[in-house]
Amino acid sequence: MFKYIRYYLYLLISFFRIPYSQAYINIQAHEVKNILINKISEKKINMFLIKKLYQKHYDFLIYCKKIKVDMPEVYFWTALAALTIGNYEDWKTLRLKLLEKQKTISDKKKLNFQIIEPGHIVFTIGNTLTLDAWIKSQILGFSKKIRTILPLPPQYKNKIINRSMLEYYKPFIDIIEDPKEARYYYSNLQNAQAWHNIRIPCGKKHRPYFSHSSAVYVQSVWDSQKRKPLFSLRDSHRFNGRQILKKMGIPEDSWFVTCHVREPHFKHREDFRDSDIATYFDAFKEITDRGGWVVRMGDKSMSPLPKMNRVIDYAISEFKSDWMDVYLCASCKFMLGTSSGLSTITYIFGKPIAMTNNLPTAATYLSKRDLFMPRLMQRLDNGKMISLVDSMTIPYSLGFSDSIYKNIFKVKTIPNNNIEIKNITIEMLERLDGSIKYSSADENLQSEFKKKTAEKEVMIGFPGFPIQCRLGNYFLQNYYNHI
């Protein structure tokens, strides 16, 4: 109820042209989240009405420019509105204008720091990826070194999703928790925001506007210089983690694979992100038959696993903690993952990932040490399959909700099956033990896939730059006709 009262109050501020920028940002955010996205989610959508709603958002941005309250956040929400209805040219243009606007403001203020918006790091673990890339970008010299600050005002301190991971960032960014000091820096957010969730600086040759693609580029340069990961486990976490492994029944000299399969209980139901854990059981057996252990990651809301040999249901166990989450992600042989943020911890600690049910494909941030499989897409009108190349590139690569796949793209997404998941697991195990043998036909097919997707700008903002990870061999062999 309060949010609607506030919304109407902001509308009054807008009507009288009062120059209070936060009101205009909140109007745009409210109307995108609570009106436009809801309309897209209806069973029977009216595209004429939806396009009119988008035009209203765009006109509101023009209005904000006229009265000089067009802060970067207004561009952000208008860009999201464009993405929601499938207007990708406007989405790109608006994101670039956001970055230009922020640069203009920051240059004018001449502050000697940049600020990380705390919600992007505190509320979700997935932005670990882009913050890692932001720091690496500075180290590589793609942007000038400037003090980076993460303020944690009181309203954020009790909502930190993983305090332990936050502590690992302290050598690289200033985390401000003193209430008075944190409020000061937070009040300067609009003047000096580091939009790491929009783009990572990649040097003068590139003008990126999509953070995941720029993170892949930064990591490729980092790897080409044979640099080590920024992060390594603290000795205390390494020692204490081994003790917990013993208590869970995993011997000290054993290896383990972590597995995180997102379920509908997490945040809210998203069928394109959620998967059936039972389709991973054959992969579990492949790991345990080879002498390994499986540690199922997640939270206490997850459905309990049936009893399986050498499989630990850590997610709902008494041993779960924020630091143990980090330890497991950083110490595993590899992670068998899905489209969830937890895998980014494994990534920044330099451990391999076998990513399954990967969507949205634009967020395929993985490196050369990793494997992946996307979900297939099938047209709803005629049952034809969308090609792998098309599913990896715009527009299909940018779906961020079930309703966009269904009502805008007019497709259904098809999850990976147990055989595909088992085979990508075998492939990763054989890559790591050195027994993998790819035929020349395998390599040619992989090259063809990477070449064709690069030609269609698989890495958004980087024409011709190929995806760095490898598409699962069994999956590619079975669906090569869909390239």
305 alpha carbon, distance to own chain's centre: 26
Looking at the structure, tell me whether residues 362 and 414 fall in a common domain: yes
Q: Which pLDDT band holds residue 263 (cuts at 50, 70, 90)?
A: confident
Looking at the structure, tell me whether residues 87 and 126 fall in a common domain: no
- Does pLDDT of 100 surpass 90? yes
Average pLDDT of the residues in 234-244? 98
Give the CA radius of gyration of the chain.
Answer: 23
Q: Which of 119-128, 219-228, 283-292, 349-358 has the lowest mean pLDDT?
A: 119-128
Looking at the domain assignment, is residue 277 inside a domain? yes
Residue 111: its pLDDT value, please? 94
Structural domain harbouring 341? 235-482
Residue 57: its pLDDT value, please? 96
Looking at the domain assignment, is residue 447 inside a domain? yes
Looking at the structure, tell me whether residues 273 and 155 fall in a common domain: no
Residue 425: its pLDDT value, please? 99
Looking at the structure, tell me whether residues 403 and 258 fall in a common domain: yes
Single out the residue in 71, 100, 129 at which a domain terminates: 100
Looking at the domain assignment, is residue 4 inside a domain? no
- Does pLDDT of 332 surpass 70? yes
pLDDT digits over 40-64, tens only?
999 899 999 999 999 999 999 999 9
Residue 89: its pLDDT value, please? 98
Looking at the structure, tell me whether residues 432 and 459 fall in a common domain: yes
The larger pLDDT score, comparing residue 286 to residue 481, is at 286
pLDDT digits over 158-194, tens only?
899 999 999 999 999 999 999 999 999 999 999 999 9
What mean pLDDT is reported for the chain?
96
- Does pLDDT of 441 surpass 70? yes
Looking at the structure, tell me whether residues 239 and 224 fall in a common domain: no
Alpha helices in 320-375 (DSSP H): 322-331, 343-348
User: pLDDT over 90 for what percent of the chain?
Assistant: 93
Looking at the domain assignment, is residue 9 inside a domain? no
Residue 267: its pLDDT value, please? 58
Residue 481: its pLDDT value, please? 79
Q: In what order do the strands lie in the sheet with 371-374?
A: 311-312, 293-296, 256-259, 335-337, 353-358, 371-374, 470-471
Residue 4: its pLDDT value, please? 80
Q: Which pLDDT band holds residue 326 (cuts at 50, 70, 90)?
A: very high
- Does pLDDT of 268 surpass 70? no
Looking at the domain assignment, is residue 1 inside a domain? no
Looking at the domain assignment, is residue 445 inside a domain? yes
Looking at the structure, tell me whether residues 147 and 67 fall in a common domain: no
pLDDT digits over 3-21, tens only?
788 999 999 999 999 999 9
CATH number, domain containing residue 436: 3.40.50
248 alpha carbon, distance to own chain's centre: 30
Count of domains forming the chain: 3
Looking at the domain assignment, is residue 211 inside a domain? yes
Looking at the domain assignment, is residue 13 inside a domain? no
Looking at the structure, tell me whether residues 31 and 165 fall in a common domain: no
CB < 8 Å & 24+ apart, contacts of 426-430: 426/286, 427/354, 427/371, 427/472, 427/473, 427/474, 428/334, 428/336, 428/352, 428/354, 428/371, 429/286, 429/287, 429/290
For 415, residues 6+ apart whose C-beta sits below 8 A from its C-beta are: 275, 276, 279, 357, 375
Looking at the structure, tell me whether residues 371 and 436 fall in a common domain: yes
Pairing of strands 371-374, 376-379: unpaired
Looking at the structure, tell me whether residues 182 and 281 fall in a common domain: no
With beta carbons less than 8 A apart as the criterion, state whether 311 and 305 touch. Answer: yes
Residue 405: its pLDDT value, please? 97
Single out the residue in 80, 100, 120 at which a domain terminates: 100
Instruction: Determine the Cα–Cα distance for residues 449 and 427; give it in Å rounded to an integer.
Output: 18
Residue 266: its pLDDT value, please? 59
Helix (H, G, I), strand (E, B) or coil at 337: strand
Looking at the structure, tell me whether residues 312 and 361 fall in a common domain: yes
pLDDT digits over 348-389, tens only?
999 999 999 999 999 999 999 999 999 999 999 999 999 999
Give the containing element (helix H, strand E) for 354.
strand 353-358
Single out the residue in 216, 231, 246 at which a domain terminates: 231
Q: Which pLDDT band holds residue 206 (cuts at 50, 70, 90)?
A: very high
Looking at the structure, tell me whether residues 153 and 189 fall in a common domain: yes
User: pLDDT over 70 for what percent of the chain?
Assistant: 99
